[in-house]
Structure 1
Amino acid sequence: MATLHLHSFSPFTDTRLASGLRILSSGDGVLLCGDAVYALQPGCAIREQLVELTSTCEVIALAEDLESRGIDSLPATIRSIDYAQFVEACARYDRTNTWL
């Protein structure tokens, strides 16, 4: 059963994203929103880790949060989504896990 992991905390002030990435299974998804999109800043090690994950997992980020935080350059394998696509992604996976 594939799980969509929702992350909203900055990877620079919190360990939830790093913990969540360690338990991913093939076919899972990672959705970055809120301050978690800071993980996609160019030059960050966590960004490279997320890019590597795209070979077995979907990695997506909420466009509004990317824009509000000034992140305008994404790797080709990571896509930004709007709120309607956010809902669609949640419905597409068997489960969702929000890292509170």
Structure 2
Amino acid sequence: MTTLHVVSSSPFSDDRLSSCLRLLGSGDGLLLCGDATYASQPGTLHAESLSALGDGIALFAMEEDIQARGLQPASGLQQIDYPGFVALAIRFDKVNSWL
């Protein structure tokens, strides 16, 4: 069963992203939104952790949140809009929000 994991908190303020990364399984997806998009900045430990996940994990970020923070995300991260978020929620068997 595949899961879309949604993380919105900054990786610099708590360990939710790190906890999420440990639980990702093959075929799962990770969507960064809100302040979690800071994890996508190239050259950070968080971006390195994301790129080390491999091809079995799909990585997404909310385009609006990337733009609002003026970020240039690392490669391998697909930016999506709100209709894309809805499509992801349908594509995966479960959605887990890391609140």
Please give the TM-score of this superposition, normalised by the length of structure 1.
Answer: 0.95
Aligned equivalents of 1:13, 1:20: Cα separation in 2: 15
Q: Residues 2-17 of structure 1 correspond to what in structure 2 (within 5 A)?
A: 2-17=2-17
The answer for unaligned runs of 5 or more in structure 1 is none
Matched to 2:48, the amino acid is: E
Larger CA deviation: 23-32 vs 45-54: 45-54
Aligned equivalents of 1:22, 1:39: Cα separation in 2: 15
SS, match of residue 53 in structure 1? coil
Q: Residues 9-48 of structure 1 correspond to what in structure 2 (within 5 A)?
A: 9-48=9-48
Question: How many pairs align?
Answer: 99
Q: Residues 50-89 of structure 1 correspond to what in structure 2 (within 5 A)?
A: 50-75=50-75, 77-89=76-88
The answer for unaligned runs of 5 or more in structure 2 is none
Instruction: Give the percent of matched residue pairs that are identical in Structure 1 and Structure 2.
Output: 48
Pick closer, same or farther for the CA change 1:73–1:16 going to 2, 3 Å.
Answer: closer
Match of 2:93 in 1: 94
Moved over 4 A (4+): none
Kindly provide the CA deviation profile for residues 31-73 of structure 1, in whole angstroms up to 9, marking residues without a partner as x.
0000000001121111011112141100000000000011124
